[in-house]
Amino acid sequence: MKLLLKFFIAVAGIILASSLPVLIAGWLKGQWRWNIYFESIGTTLQELWPINEIAFFNYRAQRPMPLFPNVFEYITYSLQILFLALLVAVIVSLGLTIITMLLSEKARERVKMALYFLESVPDLLIIMLAQLAVVLFFKQTGILISKIAAVGDDRIYWLPVLCLAILPTIQLYRLAMLTFQEEERQMYVDLARALGFSKVYIVLVHMFRNAIISVFFQSKKTMWFMLSNLFILELMFNLPGIMLFLRDNMYPAGFLVTVFSFFLPMFFLYSLGEWYFVRRMRGKEAV
Amino acid sequence: MWKQPYFVIGFSIIAFFLAGSFIYEWIWGNVPRQIYYIMEGGRAVEGAPISPNWQFPLGSDEFGYDLLGKLMLGAKYTILAALAVGALRMLIAVPLGYILGTYLDKHRKWISSLADSMHYIPLTLFAAFVLTPVLWMPPEGFTNTIWERIGIQVLIMALLTVPIVAILIANEAALLRDKEFILAAKTLGAGRFRIIRKHLYPQMREKIAVLYGQQVMETFIVFAHLGLLKLFLGGTKVSYDPMFGDPPMSISYEWAGLFGSTFRYLQSAPWLPLAPVLFIGLTIFAVSLMMEGYLRSKNPKVKKMQKGKAEEPLVEWNREQLRAGMVRLKEKNQLK
């Protein structure tokens, strides 16, 4: 019930945001266009209603095409890249964290410092360097590792996923390091150590279970960051994804469709995670 | 703060860009030097865009303008705008967050889930969507001046994430509010405003400073992203001439524009898009250096840790001494 309320509030927030340009265009001319703003929201919602009749101008096909089911291709492609990158980032960062936790205190501080400064590398730089590197490699050896731009409707996977995963990996790595170190100060770690468990076992079994919850709840910002990156990635690789679709349809209805295509799976994922972790925490208290 | 090497290095990088930008304009005017081709032994060996060499450290663009000069001229727009966005955002969000955290605490829950919906809208996308009517030149030309547009852009970009920052501060304030010293102040009759001013704000000053640094870094990234979308700081000059239309151009030499308008030369003249992004990266790095230096100057945790480490060998030595003493004791007992 609470979840449903949260869902509707979030939906309302997105809908309110979708017509903001109207308000700002009016504001530029020195007037408050509240009426037009709410009208725009109304018409946008009406436009969306018979959901299978919406037509958008398709840039690649150069003619208007019905939104459904065409848009699903875009959405699935974007979501595939997003979640593959997320999966890579989570696995790599957690793996590295566990390895780093076994190192000495001094080495850990150094790693944390390096990560902190690595976070300031702009995503654009990573993508551009990756593209340049692929071309350079091709020129040197004649082997094309991956295409650097999608032409027409072909799909490229691993290079975009890699580019998208690098920065979130660094962020999650640092976040996980901080949480694990916080966890290390807890009493139960001392107890486990006193009982003679090895360091690897404590980190892997005891600390991991507790720290992962906190990492999950703090990972929302990384997800947000990844969405922006995905947008840029699709532009730079010319991927036929939902973000590129939006660029050609920069008006409220297109905005809504795009945002919802991300909002629904992500909201679902986070609610599921929250529900699972909260239930587990409660279960622990009961036992 | 000024004794921290990290802070000083970061500060000098940013100060160098800003001062260099103004001095460059003062000495050489606001048009960078231009060269069409390089002569070598009476023959032209390279035409514009010229690749980086000793005379032009970063090469030149497709019209022969010196890229380093362009970057230096543009530094002040980008850096000052990003600093302004961060400052304005904090100026609005901090009081709002305190009001939410103290006066409107009952409503904090639902307001925070409303602000939470922002986390599902990619920031760049949102900014591009909202700023297009401001920055994209309409066919009849801009009606406002470049400074007005920069002002409007800064204001809108500041407002975009005000809800998220305000909620962050409100949650932090609500956490602090349950602490004993606040309860004590309340018992002594302090009003809400006094608690905010005298207790909550000093407690959170460091967090607010770090938050400000993060906002500035985020703003640089969004500027660069907007540049890729051809939405430049201060507006995009669009040529509506159907026959000889120029590509969209930035009006000032700000970095996002330098990057966005040259991105398509990535393979043929990689220094053109790479240099502005590198400069943006360097500035972000400088900001993070300053943040780290500031934090280290405020809580000397690092120093304490070093002290703790220095004491450790002493403990080791004591233990050894103890063991040696015990061995001696044992030997004595055995002798008896």
For residue B173, count other CB atoms closer than 10 A to its CB. Answer: 26
Chain A partners within 8 Å of B125 (Cβ): 227-228, 231, 243, 246, 255, 258-259
User: How buried is residue A137: exposed, middle or buried, by Cβ count under 10 Å (0-12/13-18/19+)?
Assistant: middle
Q: Phi, psi at residue A28, to the nearest 5°?
A: -65, -35
**C-alpha distance from A232 to closest chain B C-alpha (Å):** 7
CB A150 within 8 A of CB A77: no
DSSP letters, B129-181, are HHHHHHHBPPTT--SS-HHHHHHHHHHHHHHHTHHHHHHHHHHHHHHHHTSHH
Q: Does any CB of chain B come closer than 8 Å to the CB of residue A124?
A: yes
**C-alpha distance from B281 to closest chain A C-alpha (Å):** 6
Residue A141, both tokens: 């050896």
The pLDDT of residue A67 is 61
The pLDDT of residue B4 is 80
The answer to whether the Cβ–Cβ distance between A14 and B122 falls below 8 Å is: no
Identify the closest residue of chain B to A122 by CA–CA distance. Answer: B281
CB B228 within 8 A of CB B258: no
The pLDDT of residue A287 is 40
pLDDT above 90 coverage of chain A, percent: 1
The residues near B161 (Cβ < 8 Å, ≥ 6 apart) are B89, B118, B123, B215, B218
Name the residue type at position B25.
Answer: E
How far is Cα B46 from Cα B32, in angstroms, rounded to an integer? 19
Identify the closest residue of chain A to B302 by CA–CA distance. Answer: A109
Average pLDDT, chain A: 78
The pLDDT of residue A138 is 83
CB B67 within 8 A of CB B53: no
The pLDDT of residue B134 is 76
The larger pLDDT score, comparing residue A287 to residue A58, is at A58
The pLDDT of residue A254 is 74
Statement: residue A50 has pLDDT above 70? no
CB B203 within 8 A of CB B180: no
Chain B partners within 8 Å of A266 (Cβ): 120
| pTM score of the predicted model | 0.81
Interface of A with B in 245-264 (CB under 8 A): 246-247, 250, 255, 258-259, 262-263
| Buried b or exposed e, range B287-300, using 16+ CB within 10 angstroms | bbbbbbbbbbeeee
The pLDDT of residue A264 is 83
DSSP B34: B
Statement: residue A284 has pLDDT above 70? no
Chain A partners within 8 Å of B281 (Cβ): 120-122, 125
pLDDT tens profile A234-281: 888 877 777 777 766 667 777 777 788 778 888 888 888 888 888 877
The answer to whether the Cβ–Cβ distance between A231 and B267 falls below 8 Å is: no
For residue A227, count other CB atoms closer than 10 A to its CB. Answer: 23
How many degrees, rounded to 5, is the angle at CA B57 between CA B53 and CA B58?
Answer: 100
Statement: residue A286 has pLDDT above 50? no
Identify the closest residue of chain A to B224 by CA–CA distance. Answer: A124
CA-closest candidate to residue B68, choices B17, B14, B12, B15: B17
How far is Cα A91 from Cα A252, in angstroms, rounded to an integer? 37
Size of interface A-B (CB pairs under 8 A): 134
Q: Does any CB of chain B come closer than 8 Å to the CB of residue A234?
A: no
- Mean pLDDT for A65-91 is 79
Structure-token match 């001094």, residue found: A106
The pLDDT of residue B151 is 85
For chain B, give the number of residues.
336
- Mean pLDDT for A107-115 is 85
Indicate the SS3 state at residue B65: strand
The pLDDT of residue B228 is 82
Residue spans of chain B under pLDDT 70: 30, 32-51, 53-57, 59, 62-64, 239-251, 300-319, 335-336
Indicate the SS3 state at residue B40: strand
pLDDT tens profile A182-232: 888 888 888 888 888 888 888 888 888 888 888 887 788 888 888 888 888
